[in-house]
Structure 1
């Protein structure tokens, strides 16, 4: 056997050495180039324009004398000019800053057109009131009059805003809770629908402010009357939209849950109510508008503290700058309430986040 193995091979047959494992090299791959990112601009052009607009507003306010029509000069004119100059300086630094300001610049960049428009609007307001006196005083006041209101009367204004928030929260929470329960009842039970639906159809469209004379008689105080009217204005749209959401739930969901042994309580709490939540929030958004209007009217007519009362007080003393200051606080306050409700909606209805924006 060893002789056969050692014998030479026949002509034409040759042995080839087997390739070694280390000699087999994997095919070389071309290097993948990193994605090309657009270089972030080192400065912000529209921000520079906004800074120039705010600087021009400051120069206009400070250098142009005010028109004195029947009373002393407007207070806080120089302070308002200094404030606009500080805004202009901050915008200029943010616009021309290096890479270390790239992140805050990116956050402020979408507000660029509004920053320019706000400066131009304030400049026009300053011109037609304090500088040229085209609008009659004291019915129309310049922007610096708001600074005087917030500095000199901040305590009364903050107390009024706090009392309005307490009154609004009490009325909205009571109305939303009652409206939600009523909506679930008439959406689930035919008997409740038979008795409650006609009452909603008759009393729901009636403006809550029209019930003020009656409610003042039945309730012991103007504060409780205001809470009831705010709750009534909030509860009607919440009840109607909740009823619509519960009634429009797909019946197949109930059939599947009953097949798995679900009780009626489970069907209401785990099937009907979660499916109706988008409609419930639509009802809340609609009810907030009624609540805001009712709040202001109720405070003007009977409640002894609040933003509506503050408006009436300022009008009685012909203090129109105070009235404008209260209107601005009211707008910011109500907008903040709606923003909080949208944040709550996005948290509870995460699958619908972004469908309705504020």
Structure 2
């Protein structure tokens, strides 16, 4: 669809307008007299960069003449900046909220400016922990799901175990993990892997059992072996369910990660947040939470890209 009316133009430049108003509020309204912290420029820098980025995409969309993603997200982006301005007014300008527990955007951005290298180190530590745990949890989950879903003998012995142990929150195994593993890192890997393993197992099992019988009949007609029927028919047909399990496991692993990193590990974004909370560094806590939000959002987006690539042949088969 093309941009034609004044309403379309207003929507296109709404995000830039909202950021410009936010800049005016920051510049024209003085800081509260009871706020004794030094003046910081980071929030204003952030707003000017945001204004430049939104204007660039708005003009680019206008030149193309077609409504794109930026056009449809403009209202959301602009409203988000208005909310950010309201929070800044309630903290830095008027000190409506306690400054200790509700740091201003300037203070939060100052944490990124001063401690970005250490925050990045903690984030990479968490990503390494997640990557190792995901490889173990997803691999064992798919393997267990195949065994339970395909082989009657394994279903007899493993299915009750999965149904008994699976629903128990992985964080409930913290005492066992701390005594069973020699290091806190290995205990954390166990807990996160367990949180991923259960949903992947359940949905892989469900996916295999729900594959149409006609597919296997055709495979038998073509002389397929049991291994070929599993790898060429059952697993590809159940991939939509497997990815649902992986997404559920990913969400569970994020929650477990925060708990696991409080077991004694030396780094990690969950450890960083807990450490800063104990020393009342709430600006650092907010910076850690923002880092988590961005990191996990990127991971989920990447998972969607992988799913779309692997399931291109099943496009439209399953809705997310």
What is the TM-score when the length of structure 2 is the normalising length? 0.91
Count of aligned pairs between the two proteins: 318
Q: Is the 8 A contact 1:66 1:74 kept in 2?
A: no
Structure 1 residue aligned with 2:26: 61
Aligned-residue offset at 1:46 = 2.5
The answer to whether the Cα contact below 8 Å between 2:269 and 2:288 also exists between their aligned partners in 1 is yes
Partner of 1:337: 299
* Structure 2 segments unaligned to the other structure (5+ residues): none
Q: Distance in 2 between matches of 1:289 and 1:102?
A: 38
Q: Which residue, 195, 210, 213 being the options, matches 1:233?
A: 195
Question: C-alpha separation between the residues in 1 aligned to 2:309 and 2:230?
Answer: 21
Question: Unaligned 5+ residue runs, structure 1?
Answer: 1-36
Residue in 1 that maps onto 2:285: 323
Cα separation, 1, equivalents of 2:257 and 2:60:
49
- CA RMSD, aligned part only? 2.4
Tell me, in whole angstroms, the C-alpha distance in 2 between the residues paired with 1:316 and 1:243.
43
Taking a change above 3 Å as real, the CA distance of residues 268 and 51 of structure 1, as seen in their structure-2 partners, is: closer
Q: Distance in 1 between matches of 2:252 and 2:222?
A: 43
Instruction: Return the alpha-carbon distance in structure 1 between the equivalents of residues 5 and 64 of structure 2.
Output: 9
Does the alignment pair 1:153 with 2:115? Answer: yes
Q: 1:286: how far off? A: 0.8
Residue of 252, 262, 274 corresponding to 2:214: 252
Provide runs of 4+ in structure 1 moved above 6 Å: none
**Distance in 1 of aligned mates of 2:119 and 2:13:** 36
User: Could you tell which deviates more after superposition, 293-302 or 322-331?
Assistant: 293-302
Partner residue of 2:15 out of 50, 71, 74? 50
The within-5 A match list for 1:155-304 is 155-304=117-266
| Structure 2 Cα separation of the partners of residues 301 and 66 of structure 1 | 41
Per mean C-alpha deviation after superposition, the further-off stretch among 348-357 and 333-342 is 348-357
CA deviation profile, 1:100-150 (whole Å, cap 9, x unmatched):
833698452122101220221111001111111111121001111221010
Please identify which structure carries the higher helix content.
Answer: 2
Which structure's relative contact order is higher, taking Cα pairs within 8 Å and 6+ residues apart?
A: 2
Quote the Cα distance in structure 2 between the aligned partners of 1:183 and 1:39: 50
TM-score, normalising length: structure 1? 0.82
Q: Give 1:289 shift.
A: 1.3
